[in-house]
Amino acid sequence: MKIKIYHNPRCTKSRQSHQLLIEMGVDFDTVEYLKEPLSEKELKAVLSKLGIKAAELIRKTEAIYKEKFKGKELTESEWIKAMLDYPKLMQRPIVICGENAVIGRPTELVAELIK
């Protein structure tokens, strides 16, 4: 089964999940989503695999969230557009294994997904 991690190497939790995949000896693809942003279709597929709404994937601690979105009620489409425009808004890391996915916080979720 092909595994993919949406990774931000500057994020501690993302680095920990990336390292865990290496230590588990699994074959996986790394997508540095800040360098290679997701398309709308890819982001919708990720949300579907995570089983969550777009608003649940938003990092509310990001400066861009506080500046532009805090306190606003956005629709699903508007949150998706916000993440497409500002990929930093996405929670990280996201690990996908087949039709399932987790946000790797804590990294134990990644280990459970792969097993």
Output the pTM of the full model.
Answer: 0.94
Instruction: Count structural domains, the chain.
Output: 1
Structure tokens at 7: 């990774």
| Residues contacting residue 78 through CB under 8 Å, at least 6 positions apart | none
Query: Structural domain of residue 87, as residue ranges?
Result: 3-114
CATH code of the domain in which 88 resides: 3.40.30.10
State the catalytic residues: 11
Task: Report the pLDDT averaged over residues 8-33.
Answer: 96
Which tens digits make up the pLDDT trace of 49-77? Answer: 999 999 999 999 999 999 999 999 999 99
